[in-house]
Amino acid sequence: MKQPKNHQPHLQSFLYPKHHYRGKWTANTFLFNANLQEFSQKINYLSNLVANGKLSPEDAYQSIENLYQQLELSKQNLEL
């Protein structure tokens, strides 16, 4: 029996999962939460690339350091 096409997973939601924000809502906390989720997703990609031998641990570390600096800057700019 064939499954309808609408049961196929959506690639976008699979690659970029988003979770609902449950904290105190302000525009700044909402934006920071989005930035934090993006940071987390990128860290996950880097970890998988290292685990599969596609990226050196040193390069991953440097990328993570840069991503963290961007996240810190985002927090400062949002005045959190």
What would the pLDDT profile of 13-54 be if each residue is shown by its tens digit? 655 556 676 778 899 998 999 999 999 999 999 999 999 999
Q: For residue 75, tell me if it sits in a domain.
A: yes
Query: Buried b vs exposed e over 58-79: b needs ≥16 C-beta within 10 Å?
Result: eebeebeeebeeebeebeeeee
Beta carbons of 42 and 67 less than 8 angstroms apart:
yes
Q: For residue 17, tell me if it sits in a domain.
A: no
How many structural domains are present in the chain?
A: 1
Q: For residue 4, tell me if it sits in a domain.
A: no
Q: How far apart are CA 77 and CA 80, in angstroms?
A: 8
| Structural domain of 64 | 25-80
What was the pLDDT predicted at 80? 87
Q: Is 22 exposed, middle or buried (0-12, 13-18, 19+ CB in 10 A)?
A: exposed
Q: For residue 62, tell me if it sits in a domain.
A: yes
pTM given for the model: 0.72
